[in-house]
Amino acid sequence: QKEVEQNSGPLSVPEGAIASLNCTYSDRGSQSFFWYRQYSGKSPELIMFIYSNGDKEDGRFTAQLNKASQYVSLLIRDSQPSDSATYLCAVRGGSYIPTFGRGTSLIVHP
């Protein structure tokens, strides 16, 4: 059974700090990795995706993938209160059906 694990949090960081969100997965055949942000009562929205080992940067967001360790992370630089949300990690293998983690709640306090 494919599993995606995330610490449910909450992760609390001060405004302007770096928030680090982590995710591990069980299926070594996983090929695609996604980070979604979900505000309370809303649908998830895609923030980043990464396919290759290493870092991928997009604005204040950096996704990091280490397939050997089966680990993917999301760094948010200069965190803002508006970044407060639940962050879902999703992992996909050869099919187009992703497996979602339970999400990590992030709180950015002023």
Partner 1 sequence: GAVVSQHPSWVICKSGTSVKIECRSLDFQATTMFWYRQFPKQSLMLMATSNEGSKATYEQGVEKDKFLINHASLTLSTLTVTSAHPEDSSFYICSAREVGGSEAFFGQGTRLTVV
> Which residues form the interface with partner 1 (CB under 8 A)?
8, 32, 34, 36, 41-46, 49, 88, 96-98, 100-103
Which positions ≥6 away from 83 have C-beta within 8 Å? 19, 37, 76, 106, 108
Give the residue with the Cβ less far from partner 1, 17 or 99: 99
Least distance from C-beta 61 to partner 1, angstroms? 16
22 phi-psi bin (left φ>0, alpha ψ -120 to 50, beta other): beta
Instruction: Quote the CA–CA distance of 102 and 70 in Å, as a whole number.
Output: 17
Give the residue with the Cβ less far from partner 1, 43 or 68: 43
Give the residue with the Cβ less far from partner 1, 68 or 97: 97
Which stretch of DSSP H or E encloses residue 65?
strand 61-66
Least distance from C-beta 34 to partner 1, angstroms? 8
79 close to 18: Cβ distance less than 8 angstroms: yes
60 close to 70: Cβ distance less than 8 angstroms: no
Least distance from C-beta 7 to partner 1, angstroms? 13
Least distance from C-beta 84 to partner 1, angstroms? 15
Give the residue with the Cβ less far from partner 1, 13 or 44: 44
